Amino acid sequence: MSVLTPHRLAELLGLPQPTDEQAAVIGAPLGPLLVVAGAGSGKTETMASRVVYLVANRMVRPDQVLGLTFTRKAAGELSTRIRARLGQLARIPEIAGEPTGGATRDPAGGSAGVPADGSSGAPAGGIVGASPERAEPAAAQRDPDTLGGEPTVATYHSYAARVVTEHGLRAGYEPTTRLLSEAACWQLADAVVRAYDGDMSAVDLAPVTVTGEVLGLAAELSEHLCEPDRLYRFTERLIAGLQALPGAMSADTARMVARQQARLQLLPLVTKYVERKVAAEAMDYGDQLSRAATVAVQHPVVGATERDRYRVVLLDEYQDTSHAQVVLLRALFGRGHAVTAVGDPAQSIYAWRGASAGTLERFPTDFALADGRPARRLALTTSWRNPPSVLSVANEVSRPLRDAGSAAVVLSAAPHAPYGRAVRCALLTTAADEASWVAESIARHWSTNATMDDPPTTAVLVRSRRQIPVLEQALRACGLPVEVVGLGGLLDTPEVRDVVTTLQVLADPAAGAGLLRLLTGPRLRIGPRDIVALHRRSRELSRRDRPDLAELALPPEVTLVEALDDLGDPALYSPTGYRRLTAFAAELAVLRSRLGQSLPDLIADVEHTIGLDVEVAVRAGAAGGSAGVAGAAGSGAAVGLARAHLDAFADVAAQFAADSDTATLAGFLAFLAAAEEQERGLEPGHVEVVTGAVQVLTVHAAKGLEWDVVALAGAAENVFPARSQGDHWLNRPGVLPFALRGDRTGLPELELSAVGDHKAFNRARRDFLARWAEHDAAEERRLAYVAVTRPRRLLLCSGYWWDGDAQGRRGPSALLTEVRERCLAGAGYVDEWADEPEPDAPNPVKANPLRAHWPDDPLGERRRDLTAAAELVRTELAALRAATSPGSVTADADAPAGHAPADADTEAPAGDAVADADALVGGGADGAGAEERRWAYEVELLLAERDTEARGVGEVALPAALTVTDLVGLADDPGALARRIRRPLPRPPERAASRGTEFHRWLEQRLGSQALLDLDELPGAADRDTGVDADLAQLQRRFLASEWATRTPLAVEVPFVTVLAGVVVRGRMDAVFAEPGGGLRVVDWKTGRQPTGDAARSAAVQLAAYRLAAAELFGVPLADVGAAFHYVATGVTDSPADLLDADELAALVTRLPPAAGEPVTEQ
C-alpha cells in the first residue's frame, strides 16, 4: 500500500491544504513527538488530521488512539472532529476499497505501525509501518477491521479515574470511591476547620482563609506525591536550623519562621481532612491523580496493558500538566511509545495550581526514544485567529520569554488574514476615565460593525477583580449589556448581591454591614435619620438587656439586626421609615422560620420574598426603546442576563447542596466568601463565549477562548503586570516548600549551603525573593501573551495614572508601553495618551471622592412624570371605588408626593412601588382595596406569564450535562425542555408510571441485577406516554411469553456517560444482548403504548443514544450494534431503521430545531 500524504488526504476529504508545518506534524513518523503550537495555530485540527493520517495509512486502528485534554469541552471538540473525519474516510473508495493492513502484533512486542524499539519508523516515501530491519510482506500486515472502532478522547482527570477504577486494587484503592466536587471538598475542609480545637497559636488567619490553605496544602501534597511526614520533617529541620544560627534574627526572618510554624499547625488539619475523605469513601482530584500515578509507577503491568490498548497517544495543552500527571503519563507511555504532546510554553499560566512552564521543555527527555535520544520537536507558527497587527503585539510581548530561553514561537499571520490597524491603545488620567474609554470604544465598534441581531462577541479582560465594578458601571452607562463571568463575578451583580446579603443577615445577627446595604438600597431606601434611630435603639437595648456592660467599654451586644426585631417607640422614626422597617423585619422573621429548607428552596424563597423575581419580570416589560445597536442589545439582553445571573446562582447553591447531605447556610456563605477572594477566575473550559453581551472576566479564565473584540484594561504599573505576589512557601503556610515539589528545577531555590549566620541567611532570603520576582514577572508576561492573543478583529489596551487603591501614581506598565510602540510603528492607533503628572501632584481620585444621593431615588429624573401618571391612576381608582363603595379612602395617607431632601426622614414619594407593597403587608388604609390590587396584580402576572409562554421561553442555555430523557425532549419539543430547564418542576405521580417502575424492579430481580438509579434513570423516565395498560401481573405474563424471556443478556441496567458536541449525556440501558449472528442489541423495556408518527421518531433518539453508548462501552463498531423497544403489553419489538449516528445526535445539541415558529438558535 502506498503512502497517503497529508496533502493527498486533505484533497480526498475536501479539506483545505495543510501548511508545510502542519503537514510535517500530521505525517510525522510514529514515536515521541513534541509540537510547540502558538496561540490560534490550529492545533485541534492538526491533531485530528494526524489521527486520520495514521488510520488511513493503516498504522493504527481508531480504537487504538487515546486523546487527552483538560476540559470536557475540548474533549468533545476533538472527538467530534476526529469522528467526522473518520466517517468521511470510510466513505472514500480509494481508502475503504483497498485491502486493509497495519497494526498487528509482532514478535518483538510492538506493532507493525510502531517499531518496538521506539525508533522513528519508515522514512518518507517508504512502506509505512515497516522498519528496514523487520519488513514484513504486505499481506501479513492486513487487518480487515482497520477502519473500525472509535478513538478514546477524554480529560486527563477522567482517564486517571479510569486507571484507578481498573487497576486501583493492585495498590489497595477501592474502585468504588466517589469523586468529590470542589464545593464538597470545601464543605469537608470547612467542617474540619470549624471543629478543630488543637493548637493554632501561630496561625493568624481567618477561618475562611484557613480552610483555603488546608485545601491548598492537601492538593499540593497529592499533586507532588509528597507524604505529610516528609513535609513535617523538612519544616522542623528548617526551623531548628534557623533558630540555631548565630547572630540576631531579623524581623523578616522571624515572620518567615512563624509561617513555617503555622504550616506545621495546619498539618493535623490536613490529616483530619484526609481522614474525613477516607471515612466517606471519597477522594478529590488531587487524590485521584496521585493514586493513578502510584498505581502506574508501582505496577509496570498497568503500563504494559495501556500501551497495548493505545498504540498512539495525543496530549493536549501539555504545558498545563502537573507533576503527578507527568509521572502517570511517563510511567504508562514512556520508553519510546508514540506520544504526541502539543502545547505552548508562552501560555503556561497555571503555576498556582501545579503546572510548570518547564514541563513542556522537559518533554523530549521525559519521553525520550527507547535508545535515550530526545524526542523530536516540531512547531506550528501560523495563527488562524489574529490579524497581523495583533500578532505584532503578541510577538513583542513574548520576545523577552524567547530571549530567556523559552521555546515559545514567533507567530505569523495566515495567508488570508486581513491587513490593517486592528489595535487601539490609550493612557487615561484615572481608572474611571479608562473605563469610559473602554466602554465608548466598544459601543462605537458595535454601532459601526454590527447588526441589531448580531453584535460582535466581546470581552473585557482584567488582572484583578477589583477592576470590575468601575468597568461594569461604565459599560452599562453606555447601554451595553454586561455579563460578569465566574462565581466571584456573579456575586458582584446587583441582583445576586441582594440575595447573598439577605442570606448573610438571616444567618448572622452581626451582619450589620449587610443589613445597612439592604436598608439603604433602592428597595427600602431608609434615610440617615432612621438609620441613626435604629442604631440608638440597638444601644438602648444593650444597656437594658446587658446592664453590666459599660456604655463604651465594648461594642453594643445587641446588633442592628436584633434591633430591627424590636424597634421601640414609632415616634423615633419617620412614619414611612417605621412602616418599611416593620415590614422588612416581618419578612426576615418569616424567612428565618423557613431556614430548615434546602439551600435551593431557601434562595428561591428569598428571591420571591424580596421581590427580585417580580423586579426582573418588570424590567423585561420596560426594556426597549434604546437607540442604536448597543442600546437595543442593552435593553433586552441586560434583562435576560439579570435572570440568568439569578438562575446561575441557584445552580451554584443546588450543586453545593447536592454535594453533601449536611450542607449548611453558614458553610455555603463561607464558600461564597472564598470565591470572592479568588482572583484567577474559573477553571479553564468553564466559560462559554456569548453573543449580545460584553463579558468581563479575568485573563486566567479567558485562556482557550476567543472573541471578536477584546479589551485589556488596567495595563498600569503594578496592576498588569501585577506586583510580585507573596504566594511562595516562605510567606504562605498553605504552599508546599519548593524543595519538595516534583517540578523544583523550574522554581527559585533558597540556597542554604553557604549560610553560617543570620546575616548570611538574610542575603540568601533576599536572593530568593529577587529570583521569585523574576519568576513572577515571567508568569505575568505569559499571562499578557494569553490576553493579547484572544481577539479575532480588534484589540483594545489601556491604562491610567491614578486610581483609588494607591496614594501614588501608576502610569503605563511595560506592557502598555510595548503596545503603544507597536501602534506607533503601524499596528494601530494611540487614541489618547495623558501627560505625566507633576511629581508632587495629588491623587485626583482621593481628592475628589465619589458622591451619591442618599437615599437613592431609583426613578431619578423620571420621577415627576411617573408621579403624575401614578396620580392619574389613583384618581381613576378612587372614582371606580367610590362608585361601588362610598366612603373609601382614595389614596395612601402616608405617601406624600414630594421628594424629601437627602438628610430628611425616609422618603415615600407617590407612585413608590415599595410604599404600595408596604400597604399590602398591612399598613394600607383600605384593606379591601389593597386585597383587590393584590389579586389584580397577580392576575396580570399570570396573564403575562401565559403570553410569554405562548411566544416561547426565550433563549435558555443548555446545561453542561443532559440525560437521555433531555435528549429525547430536545428532539421532540425544545421549548418544553427549555421551560423544564429554566424552571424544573416535579413530575406529577401517575399510576401507569408507578406500574412501570414495579415491572422493571421485577425484571431486575429476574435477570439478577440490583442497581442504584438516578432520578432521570428511573424506569419509564423517557416514556412520553405510559397510558393506562394492563396491570402488573398481566405485564409479567406478557413478558414471559415473549422471545426475550428465554434469552440471557450480556448486561442489564448498564449506566453510561458519553459526550456529544462537548455536552455530557448520561443514561442507563435496560439490557444488552449478544446477537446470534454477531454484534449486540440494546433493548429498552416499555410498559406504555407504542407511539406513532413524530412521537415515534423522537423516541428513537433514546435508542440512538443507547446504541452509541453500547458501541463505546463494549468496543464494537457502531454498525454492529442494534437497538429496539420491546412493548411488553403488546409483545411487539420495534427496531427502528436509520437511527441517528454520533454526528446526527451531536447536531441535536449544536443546532436546535425551530419551535412554534421561532428562529433556530445555534450555540
- Specify the CATH number of the domain 489-674: 1.10.486.10
- What are the C-alpha distances in Å from 964 to residues 167, 215, 1068, 1105? 30, 35, 8, 7
Q: Which one-letter amino acid corresponds to residue 861? A: E
Q: Is the pLDDT of residue 21 over 80?
A: yes
Q: What is the pLDDT of residue 515?
A: 87
* pLDDT score of 958: 67
Q: 140 versus 866: which is more confidently predicted? A: 866
pLDDT(199) > 70: yes
Can you give the residue ranges of every domain in the chain? 6-160+291-380, 178-280, 433-485+681-724+775-844, 489-674, 860-951, 961-1150
Say whether 433-485+681-724+775-844 and 6-160+291-380 share the same fold.
yes
Average the pLDDT over 670-695 and give the result. Answer: 69
347-372 pLDDT, tens digit each: 888 766 667 767 888 999 999 998 88
Q: How far apart are CA 1013 and CA 937, in angstroms?
A: 43
Read off the pLDDT of residues 31-41 as tens digits, 9 standing for 90 and up. 999 999 999 99
Highest mean pLDDT among 673-677, 845-849, 1133-1137: 1133-1137
- Phi and psi at residue 1139, in whole multiples of 5°? -65, 150
pLDDT at 553: 46
CATH class of the domain defined by 961-1150 = alpha beta
Residue 946 has pLDDT above 90, yes or no: no
Mean pLDDT computed over 1104-1130: 88
User: Other CB atoms closer than 10 Å to residue 1041's CB: what's the count?
Assistant: 10
**Which residues have C-beta within 8 Å of that of residue 737, sequence separation ≥ 6?**
231, 234, 235, 238, 729
CA–CA dist 766, 772 (Å, integer): 10
Helix, strand, coil: what percent of the chain each, to 5? 50, 10, 35
Report pLDDT for 905: 52
Q: How far is CA 206 from CA 194, 203, 266, 670, in A?
A: 11, 9, 13, 11
Q: How confident is the model at residue 120 (pLDDT cuts 50, 70, 90)?
A: very low
Using alpha carbons, select from 933, 932, 903, 899 the residue that is nearest to residue 916. 933
Q: Tell me the binding residues for ATP.
A: 37-44
pLDDT value at residue 929: 62
Q: What is the pLDDT of residue 172?
A: 85
Q: Where are the beta strands (DSSP E) in 745-900?
A: 791-802, 828-833
What pLDDT does residue 53 have? 92
Q: What is the pLDDT of residues 398-440, one digit of tens each?
A: 999 999 888 889 999 988 887 888 999 999 999 999 999 999 9
pLDDT band for position 114 (cuts 50, 70, 90): very low
- What would the mean pLDDT of 896-907 be, rounded to a whole number? 41
Binding-site residue ranges: 37-44
User: pLDDT by residue (tens digit) across 308-341?
Assistant: 999 999 999 998 888 999 999 999 999 899 999 9
**What is the pLDDT at residue 1116?**
82
d(CA 1110, CA 625): 53
Looking at residue 710, its amino acid is V
Torsion of CA 526, 530, 536, 538, to 10 degrees: -40
Grid cell locating 927: 384593606
Residue 963 has pLDDT above 50, yes or no: yes
pLDDT tens digits, one per residue of 188-198? 898 899 889 89
At residue 158 the predicted structure's pLDDT band, cuts being 50, 70 and 90, is confident
Residue 1113 clears pLDDT 60, i.e. is over it = yes
Residue 146 binned pLDDT confidence (cut-offs 50, 70, 90): low
Banded model confidence at residue 115, pLDDT cuts 50, 70, 90 = very low
Cα 753 to Cα 732: distance, rounded to the nearest angstrom: 23
Residue 857: predicted pLDDT: 72
Element (H, E) at 1071: strand 1063-1074
Of 355-369, 786-800, 900-914, the one with minimum mean pLDDT is 900-914
- Among 357, 292, 363, smallest CA distance to 325 is for 292
pLDDT above 60: residue 1021: no
pLDDT-wise least confident of 400-404, 437-441, 959-963, 991-995: 991-995
Distance CA 746, CA 753 (A): 19
Q: Read off the C-alpha cell for 647.
A: 438562575
* pLDDT value at residue 28: 93
**What are residue 1126's DSSP bridge partners?**
1085, 1133
Query: Which CATH code, of 3.50.50.60, 3.60.20.30, 3.40.50.1980, 3.40.50.300, is assigned to 6-160+291-380?
Result: 3.40.50.300
Average pLDDT (1031-1041) is 81
In contact, 286 and 222? CB cutoff 8 Å: yes
Least confident segment among 432-446, 582-596, 625-639, 803-817: 625-639
Q: Please, which pLDDT band fits residue 632 given cuts at 50, 70 and 90?
A: very low
Report CA Rg, the chain.
33
CB 522 within 8 A of CB 858: yes
Question: Which residue in 516, 527, 521, 529 sits closest to 899, CA to CA?
Answer: 527
C-alpha cell at 794: 480588534
What's the mean per-residue pLDDT of the chain?
Answer: 79
Closest by CA to 356, choosing from 461, 226, 218, 223, is 223
Q: Is the pLDDT of residue 649 over 70?
A: yes
The 10 Å Cβ neighbour count of residue 244 is 7
What is the pLDDT at residue 438?
96
Q: How many CB atoms lie within 10 A of CB 1151?
A: 12
Which alpha helices (DSSP H) does 314-387 contain, by range? 323-333, 358-366
CB under 8 Å to 141, separation ≥6 — which residues? Answer: 58, 101, 102, 104, 112, 129, 130
Q: Please, which pLDDT band fits residue 545 given cuts at 50, 70 and 90?
A: low
Query: What is the C-alpha end-to-end distance of the chain, expressed in Å?
Result: 42
Give percent above pLDDT 90 in the chain: 29
- 998 or 500: which leads in pLDDT: 500
Select the CATH number that applies to the domain covering 433-485+681-724+775-844 from these four: 3.30.43.10, 3.60.150.10, 3.40.50.300, 2.40.40.20.
3.40.50.300
pLDDT of 978 strictly over 90: no
Highest mean pLDDT among 447-451, 488-492, 1082-1086: 1082-1086
- Across residues 76-102, what is the average pLDDT? 72
**Closest C-alpha to 956, from 980, 935, 937, 982:** 982
Helix H, strand E, coil C: the string for 809-823 is CCCECHHHHHHHHHH
Q: How far apart are CA 66 and CA 85, in angstroms?
A: 16
Q: How confident is the model at residue 889 (pLDDT cuts 50, 70, 90)?
A: very low
* Confidence class for position 993, pLDDT limits 50, 70, 90: low
Residue 779 pLDDT more than 50?
yes
Looking at the predicted structure, is the pLDDT value of residue 585 above 60? yes
User: In the block, which residue shows the cell 453533601?
Assistant: 660
pLDDT in tens, 1142-1151: 888 888 877 6
pLDDT band at 960 (very low <50, low <70, confident <90, very high): low
